[in-house]
Chain A
Amino acid sequence: AQSVTQLGSHVSVSEGALVLLRCNYSSSVPPYLFWYVQYPNQGLQLLLKYTSAATLVKGINGFEAEFKKSETSFHLTKPSAHMSDAAEYFCAVSGRGGGADGLTFGKGTHLIIQP
Chain B
Amino acid sequence: KAGVTQTPRYLIKTRGQQVTLSCSPISGHRSVSWYQQTPGQGLQFLFEYFSETQRNKGNFPGRFSGRQFSNSRSEMNVSTLELGDSALYLCASSLDTGAQDTQYFGPGTRLTVL
Residues of A at under 8 Å CB distance from B? Answer: 29, 32, 34, 36, 41-46, 49, 51, 90, 92, 94-98, 100-108
Judge whether A43 and B90 touch: CB under 8 Å.
yes
Of the listed residues A46, A98, A101, A106, the one surrounded by the most CB atoms of chain B closer than 10 A to its CB is A101
Residue numbers in A under 8 Å from B103 (CB-CB): 102-103
Decide if the interface of chain A is mainly helix, strand, loop or mixed: loop
Residues of B at under 8 Å CB distance from A? Answer: 4, 33, 35, 42-45, 48, 56-58, 90, 92, 97-108
Point out the residue from A51, A92, A98, A108 that lies within 8 Å of B100, measured CB to CB.
A51
Judge whether B105 and A36 touch: CB under 8 Å.
yes
Given the complex of chains A and B, what is the CA–CA distance between A41 and B6 in angstroms? 13
Q: 9 more A-B contacts (CB under 8 A) besides A92-B43, A100-B56? A: A94-B100, A96-B98, A98-B99, A102-B45, A102-B58, A102-B103, A104-B45, A105-B43, A108-B42
Interchain nearest-CB distance for A70 vs B (Å): 21
Residue numbers in A under 8 Å from B104 (CB-CB): 46
Judge whether B102 and A34 touch: CB under 8 Å.
yes
